[in-house]
Every structure is written in structure tokens, then in C-alpha cells.
Amino acid sequence: MALYDLFDVPDLEAPVLVGAFEGWVSAGSAGTATALHLAADAEVVASFDADELFDYRVHRPTVDFVDGVISRVDWPSIEVRLQRFAERDVLVLHGPEPNWRWQALGSAVAELAGRLGVVEFVSLGGIPWAAPHTRPTVIVTTASRTELIDEDATPPEGLLRVPGAVVSTIERALTEQGVPAVGFWARVPHYVGGVYFPAVLALTERLGRHLGISIPVGSLVENAREQRDQLDRLVEEQPGVSDVVEQLEQVFDAQGDVASGEEIAAEIERFLQDVSGDE
């Protein structure tokens, strides 16, 4: 039984598949908010079987009642939407990170990519980082081959062992099929909750440069500016947090986008202590 349904798809010209999932490696909703921005008003060309992928006790459907009567049930879903930027076809794969059958999903996405003629896979996400919101968002780049990483990119150095994400499982399945892959991961300040718009803007612009296309940013610039102003005011109201942000600025300015694990851990520990003390 197929894990996905493929709908009517127009002829595609060297499409790229962009993937982002809610959950792990989605700090500040950076990847998923970028995916939603890319796929705004785009048609669904494929969807995956939610019953096979989700534990509904974890990803509960949303139920609407009108005058005591159920009028709508929204189930969690993983979909692929088709968006065209200039003459570039972009397929956007997004949804919550599933609870089950990751390897089967990876194989299904690889099969679907083969049917649609996908020439590249791009992962998007966010990682919590000891970074100040007052500095530009750093994008970390990963790839299926070293030569796919641009010279001016920021890749992780040495061995990096982290808990896996479904987007990595999908990337692995695609690369085994011969599809090259890159990943762009925004470093999101660890003290920011909700959508972090500067990261969404940075990812959108980075993806556009990578694909050689102009992706409209819409309201992202204004959203990022307003959020910066809000964070500035919140930090000023909490002296302990203000001190931490100042320390993070000093580390960022002294070492650019490179900080040791010990420095990161120390700053996070100081931040948590300050917050606990304020509370």
C-alpha cells in the first residue's frame, strides 16, 4: 500500500524539493515558518497517509464545534506543495515530524522525488544557540558532499553527533538514490520563544541565493524589525537577561560565528540561573 497520494502535477522543470518539519531542529519555527512562507497559496500535489505516521495522542486533531455540533476536524498532515518562482519549480515538503515509520517515509519521499524528477533536496531548520538577537542570524550549512558547501558557508566542524530528525532520514534516502542535498540551519537565540522572524528571513534569502532565484519576502522584513524592537524592550526590562545578551554580543563580536561548546554551555547556564533568580 502506497504511503502517499499523488495528485495532478503539471510538467516540472528540474524541480528542487525543500523539506522542513515541526519538532526537532525547528527552533524558533525557523524551518517550518520558512516552508509555509514558500508554499503560501501553493497547490497540494501530494499528501502522506497520516494514519500510518502519527500518534494522534501526541498530534491531536483540532475539532471545531458550532452551537455544540462538530463542524470540522483538522488532522495533522504531511504535504508537498508546488510553488513557482520565476522559472524555477520548488516543491515544499512540510508538516509535523511523524511519530512512526520514519524509514518508510524516507523511502516514500525518495520514490516520489524520482517520479517528479527532483534534482536536489534542501533541508531547512533552526537550532537553539547562545546567540544574541542583536546580531545577524548565522546560517549553518550541511551537505551530502563536501563540494556542495559554498566556500563562504559556515559548516559544523569535526564530528557532530546529535539526535536524528526525520528530515535527515529523508535526506539519507534521497542521497542513496543519487539526489544531492544541502541543509540550511538558522541559529536561533535560546531565549526566544515562538516564531523567530529574523531566522525565517535569513533562511528565505539564503535559499534564494542558493537556487539563484528571487523569493519575495513579503512582510518578513517588517515582522523581523518589530520582533527586534519587542525583544529589545523585554531585555531592557530584565537586567539579568540584559547582562546575558551583552555577554553573548561580546562572544559573537570577538569570535564571529564560532564559539566553543564550553562557552555556549556557560552562557546558557548563566542565562538559566538569571531567569530562575528573577522568577
pLDDT score, position 215? 94
CATH number for position 74: 3.40.50.10900
* pLDDT > 50? residue 261: no
- Does residue 45 belong to any structural domain of this protein? yes
Tell me what the mean pLDDT of segment 239-265 comes to.
71
Query: Which of 202, 130, 135, 126 is CA-nearest to residue 167?
Result: 126
- Does residue 89 belong to any structural domain of this protein? yes
φ/ψ (deg, to 5) at 127: -125, 135
Which of 59-63, 194-198, 239-243 bottoms out in mean pLDDT, i.e. has the lowest? 239-243
| Of residues 104 and 258, more confidently modeled | 104
* pLDDT > 80? residue 91: yes
- Does residue 94 belong to any structural domain of this protein? yes
Q: What is the domain count for the chain?
A: 1
The residue segments making up the domain with residue 72 are 4-218
- Does residue 244 belong to any structural domain of this protein? no
Burial label for 71, CB within 10 Å (0-12, 13-18, 19+), is exposed
Task: Name the band, by pLDDT with cuts 50, 70 and 90, for residue 196.
Answer: very high
- Does residue 268 belong to any structural domain of this protein? no
% the chain with pLDDT above 90: 71
pLDDT score, position 254? 84
* pLDDT > 50? residue 262: no
- Does residue 81 belong to any structural domain of this protein? yes
Tell me what the mean pLDDT of segment 53-58 comes to.
96
pLDDT score, position 72? 96
pLDDT score, position 235? 87
- Does residue 183 belong to any structural domain of this protein? yes
- Does residue 87 belong to any structural domain of this protein? yes
